[in-house]
Structure 1
Amino acid sequence: MPAISDKGRQMPESPIRKLVPYAEEARKKGRKVYHLNIGQPDIKTPKVALDAVKNNTIEILEYSRSEGSEQYREKIAGYYKNKGIDVTAKEIIVTTGGSEALLFALGTVADYGDEVIIPEPFYANYNGFATASGVKVVPVVSSIENNFALPPIEEFEKLITPKTRAILICNPGNPTGYLYSREEIRKLAGIVKKHNLFLISDEVYREFVYDDLAHYSIMQEEGLEEHAIMIDSVSKRYSMCGARIGCFVSRNKEVITTALKFAQARLSSPTYAQIASEAALETPQSYFDEVSKEYVSRRNLLVSELEKIAGVRVAKPKGAFYCIAELPVKNTDDFAKWLLESFELNNETVMIAPAAGFYSTPGMGTNQVRIAYILKKEDLTAAMNILKEALEVYPGRETS
């Protein structure tokens, strides 16, 4: 048999999706599975976006421009202007989801064997994107003990080598829900300017910020024009995960010119999805206000219920719709499989995402899970009751 590539062998499995076969088997047994493993909101997609596709009269479904339609990019720029971010359509490339934008970013700034510093835990697919790009992830560890706050800047500087090309953050964070303050962004800006690095910020959850806090984008920080690359997406903002439309934003002309070459190589993003995404920009602020209020309510319920379970520790998110919880088990991979294979309460069980896959440091996060609070409150309550009962009888439970 021909050999598989080393890169292919090194590609990590998704901690979010790898348990799907176990969930399918549980459903075949007639069990209801509460999905807390994936960031697929149950919030309805804005009708204006769906109608734009349903009522379209296109007769030939053509390629769009590699950088995305000019009209759509102009409207995205207008959206950003309303958020205090002054960019032009020429500084935006429409991508097939935020995932492609991240791949373009790594391809633009780093060569094979170069390094990118990322505070961990981080979005699990960063590991996969880095592997696919031949880039080494250098983690800066944050801790549940201090709610996953940004590590001291000195910790970043210790890790900078001649191969370091960028610092990558997610703001607000997936999987922790951590929100970077303006002061923290300014500290990161200082370090990338001092060491002539790029600062890449994944800001797909910008609309979901809680407790009267405000989102501060790297694109709002003066002096970062040549260093900043912003990643964005419609997936979470408008509950349009299936549209697979994102964007890559930078004021650095050479960065945009280079990223566009990657965009040209894959031809273009989906035309209908761009039409839906363009229409979604007409969504009124009231939609986001209602959605944010709902997520705050769900977050508060989830954290409260988790804190009632003996042996569980949870970090309170400031944004996005995820939290990391530490469970009294040695290995949450085993526990997550056991939940789906061997446990049920009233013929129901829960699917969670083991958190080890959100780290690149071996051995980290093995007793943690990421929980997405994307279900209505009645379902979250039921799921937490199942988790509580499961932990009480789990053979691998650790006692203090």
Structure 2
Amino acid sequence: MKQSFGGPGMHLAGADGLRAVACLGVIFHHLAQLLNMNLQTPAIQEIQSFLLMGNAGVSVFFVLSGYLLALPFWRGYLEQGDFPQMKHYILRRAARIVPGYYAALILCIALVLILGIPSESFWLRSLAGLTFTSGFHYVTFFPSEINGPLWSISFEVFSYLLLPLCMLGLFRLFGKRRSFKGAMGYWVGVMLVLLAVNQMIHMLLTPEPNMRSWDYGMIGGAKYWMPNYNPVGFFGHFAIGIIASGVVCRLQSTEERTASLCKRGGFDVLGGLFLLGAVVLIWGARHQPEFSWSIQHQPYLFPWFALLVAGFLATAPYSRWLPAIVDNGFFRYTAKISFGLYIWHNLIMTLANKYWIADMHYFGIREVGRWIWIVLGVLAVSYLIATLSYYLIEKPVLDRAYLAGKRLPKPASKGAKNANA
């Protein structure tokens, strides 16, 4: 069986391709909002409706992060090793998020001040963004008026903090009497606790209805989203990825049976079915009201979509043919610069609308042909800026963090190294 993961320099098969699809899904979600659906043919409307569901890529990001970051914890647990080195974990997380995010947010802050762009509660939102606490209240939910996607970063940082805390509970609970079944039971318990806490958040922290709508700007939109969007609920997406990571480690420990199924293409069939199921689910929900088809009105068809994504991630490393399809060269490069694509593309669109293309706003573009040219332009500029962001801002810090991590005492077991992991 071909090893799809392992030590330094290796990667988990399927993760890069899925990251690229998720990133492009979010970008096309925002681009699809520009086309006036009411003026299009039924066929175009169906395609546009599907593209508008691309925001589910945010869920993929959370599942994928949980999946990749939990791997060293699972290996330490299942191999009777020690709890992973937290200094290395914190160093890598900070190096991955802070440089690119701070560059984008600080530029947004400067542009709002220099260009005089109206921004309600500007300093409070900026401070919350800089301290990764913006996701705890609807006023600060969007840290920047001109770069909406930055909202998810505080949620991800919160998940980064909860992962080692929950894993520490697993290590402490079972001590040296560790078992995979016990660990799965523990994480099912964590999921139930998350659902219970999320329900309490809905009961106690739902905003009052006054000015709770996208008609009242980004703060009104955030007020409408919350508490369906909240840090605890999003850790549920992250936790499903953590569980998938445990399954991958368990399959690795049963190599003989896993190899047999791999040779017969069983994992390709399973992975393909999970991937197809995710696409079919998104297609089926394209005309449904927001927050439908999900538990507790959480976004992105939770937990069904997240479970299908996790299923694909758990089976792809043992597939024979799927990695060659989903981890193609273009997707691998897109995955490498995906963080930059995510944090810069919407700012490009906002500035283009404000200072160049007047009808480049929600349902503003009337002709499909013109929309396609705008799409190509946004993608070209986004890839260019994301590439510069990666090589000039993100990669230098990541490389230094990697070298600093090598000087730290080595943990009991090593995790995978994926693009943007």
Provide TM-score, normalisation by structure 1: 0.25
Higher helix share: 2
Higher strand share: 1
